[in-house]
Copies of this chain bind each other. A is one copy, B any other.
Amino acid sequence: MSGQAAKNQSAISVTNAKAQAHVALTERYRGPSTEPVGWNETLSVLLAHRSVRAFLPRKVEPWILEAAIAAAQSASSSLNLQLWSVIAVQDPERKARLCLGVADQRWIREAPLYLIWAADLSRHARIAERASVGDDLLDPDNLDPLATSLVDVSLAAQNAAVAFESLGLGFCYIGAVRLYQQELRDELALPSHVVPIFGMCVGYPDPDRPTGVKPRLPQAAVLHRERYDATAEAGYIDRYDAHMYAFQGEQKIQQVIWSEYSLRRLFNLHASEGREAYNAALRDLNLAR
């Protein structure tokens, strides 16, 4: 399945949907998969996801942004609290100033649309202020509002992501934004209790610079039946290390052993420079004083 065909669901005919499903599953898991009994265009969109970091200059049409945000708002929200906001940045100069951190994030400059997804307790802080409701009895160490808002913003963003991909656009998440809390607060005029969690570069993929479908862990490594069972896990991880190594070779990027490298990346979450400010911001996702 070519990258463009995968992005363009109108090109998918019903007759070849099942064969295409087989290919999509094989690409994702790098192993033989049984041909599914049924299939549809939405599954093709979901399965064909790959992060896009090379964009055409073509602008994102206003109705597409609005449809994607309507999709985001259609995602479930815990207790219907809707604890998130998104800031849409299209001004080239502002986008250039937001190329923070990672050495060559030219894709933030290149993407015509840069969305900053934020957990947002500030709306309820304003509601509480208007209603003159006190918050003195709340526990400032309770992580539940933080967790609730992180889930809310993630469900919403993923729906927007699927909407963009269904329309032939591509995107990549930018996790580094979390490490630039003060810079984003200044640039985007964010009030307290608004915490950028990730960015999202959006645009039309450059067909001359395609990316491949990244393999994932075998399904049995993440899907447990009735009870959690990691007894066969070591074998799954060895197999996945091999798949990732092959994929990196094909993509002509540095080849590493996934299990070793991912452990180092996880440990690096403790070493990053912006960590202190991010932690302070996360702890601020609460209405307790």
Q: Which residues of A are at the interface with B, using a C-beta cutoff of 8 A? A: 9-10, 21, 24-25, 28-29, 34, 36-43, 45-49, 51, 61, 63-67, 69-82, 84-91, 94, 120-124, 126-128, 130-131, 133, 135, 137-139, 141-148, 150-151, 154-155, 157-159, 161-163, 166-167, 172-173, 175, 178, 187-191, 194, 197-198, 213-214, 216-217, 219, 221-230, 233-234, 237, 258-260, 262-263, 265-267, 269-270, 272, 275, 278-279, 282-283, 287-288
Contact = CB atoms under 8 A, between A and B. Distances in A.
Given A121-B266, A123-B221, A127-B237, 4 more contacts: A46-B71, A86-B222, A154-B155, A155-B157
A102 to B, nearest CB: 12
A228 B120 CA distance: 11
**Which of A39, A154, A282 has its CB near the most chain B CB atoms (within 10 A)?**
A154
Contacts of A216: 73-74, 77, 82
B233 A66 contact: no
Nearest to A138: B270
Contacts of A138: 267, 270
A123 B229 CA distance: 11
Given A47-B74, A175-B78, A237-B127, A162 B159 contact: yes
A128 B143 CA distance: 27
A204 to B, nearest CB: 14
A121 to B, nearest CB: 8
A128 B262 CA distance: 10
**How many identical chains are in the complex?**
2
A177 to B, nearest CB: 12
19 contacts: A9-B41, A24-B70, A41-B42, A42-B162, A46-B74, A49-B74, A49-B76, A69-B219, A75-B161, A81-B266, A82-B222, A123-B233, A144-B269, A144-B275, A155-B158, A189-B227, A189-B228, A190-B228, A194-B228
